[in-house]
């Protein structure tokens, strides 16, 4: 897991009631998951040897779309509120990804 993905995992696990799990255990697509109220909001893995993650958004999808426009190789807003993050995003978009993750966490607690 890259430094960026590990930082996102640690950030997510600081939230009250956050639980860590594993999706697709023992397969090449194995991913660490973060859940609140039994609902996954974050998946982290190593696709193609590079860190990758997906977070479930609700209200901040428009911000994720803007981030996709400014950092297309690192962030991609997708269908149903799922936003993908690739590799080590570095200083620029990482701060914004944290804000998106924060919104994902809040929406899972409701």
- The predicted-structure confidence for 32-44, as pLDDT tens digits, reads as follows 999 988 888 899 9
pLDDT at residue 48, as a whole number: 64
- Both tokens of 15, joined, read 């939230």
Only one residue has tokens 């897991």, namely: 1
Q: Return d(Cα 89, Cα 79) in angstroms, integer.
A: 21
Closest to 1 (Cα-Cα) out of 52, 58, 64: 52
- Both tokens of 44, joined, read 């982290």
Q: Containing H/E element for 45?
A: strand 39-47
pTM exceeds 0.75 for this model: yes
Question: Would you say the C-alpha torsion 6, 69, 40, 106 has a positive or negative sign?
Answer: positive
Q: Containing H/E element for 85?
A: strand 82-86
- Both tokens of 80, joined, read 């149903």
Domain ranges in the chain are 3-109
What is the per-residue pLDDT across 60-75, written as a single tens digit (0 to 9) for each?
Answer: 888 888 888 988 888 8
Closest to 62 (Cα-Cα) out of 103, 2, 16: 103
Beta-bridge mates of residue 47:
50
In CATH terms, the fold of domain 3-109 is: 3.90.1150
């Amino acid at each position: 897991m890259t430094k960026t993905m590990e930082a996102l995992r640690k950030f997510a696990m600081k939230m009250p009631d956050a639980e860590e799990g594993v999706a697709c255990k023992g397969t090449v697509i194995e991913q660490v998951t973060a859940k609140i109220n039994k609902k996954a909001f974050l998946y982290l893995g190593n696709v193609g040897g590079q860190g990758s993650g997906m977070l479930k958004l609700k209200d901040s999808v428009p911000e994720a779309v803007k981030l996709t426009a400014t950092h297309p190789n690192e962030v991609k807003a997708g269908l149903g509120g799922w936003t993908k993050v690739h590799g080590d995003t570095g200083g620029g978009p990482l701060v914004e990804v944290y804000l998106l993750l924060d919104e994902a966490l809040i929406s899972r607690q409701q």
